[in-house]
Amino acid sequence: MIVAFTILTLLTALSVPLARYKVRREHERELRYSLRELRTAIDKYKDACDQGLLGPPKIGTDCYPETIEILVEGVKMANDATGKKIRFLRRIPRDPFTGMREWGMRATQDDPQSIAWGGQNVFDVFSKTMERAGDGTPYSDW
């Protein structure tokens, strides 16, 4: 009985790090997907603005969205009398590491390494978590 209990305890102790690793890998996969979804929506907004579908851009935005929320709310098309809106996201994805729908943002005028958003436009997004990946890179650099 003691031998069986010892073997069971040993197997349980070995499975805990494997389970943590699996959860971490799943969070990393979700983070990659969420970042790709947000960045694709930003790029689609930029393309639509460059084509003149959204009307004249606001000064200082460089044809990028002013906030992430605009991608969900939608923007009225320029030459459409019906007031049709173009939406680029259904909802803001959740950051799997913070559990929130809040993302760090960078404007075109911001330093690429900055974690403070200038507020002019949304050129890029990043995770607000301070955790690091297995290779040592911060998730905020992804």
Provide the pLDDT confidence category of residue 112 given band limits of 50, 70 and 90: confident
pLDDT for the residue 59 = 85
| Whether the Cβ atoms of residue 78 and residue 51 lie closer than 8 Å to each other | no
Is-contact 42 123, C-beta < 8 A?
yes
Backbone angles phi, psi at 42, to 5 degrees: -60, -45
| Section 72-84 average pLDDT | 84
pTM over 0.85: no
Neighbours of 21 (CB within 10 A): 11
Residue with tokens 């929130």: 100
Among the residues of the chain, which ranges form H helices? 2-50, 69-73
Q: What is the mean pLDDT of residues 102-126?
A: 87
Q: Report pLDDT for 32.
A: 95
pLDDT tens sequence across 6-36: 888 877 777 777 778 888 899 999 999 999 9
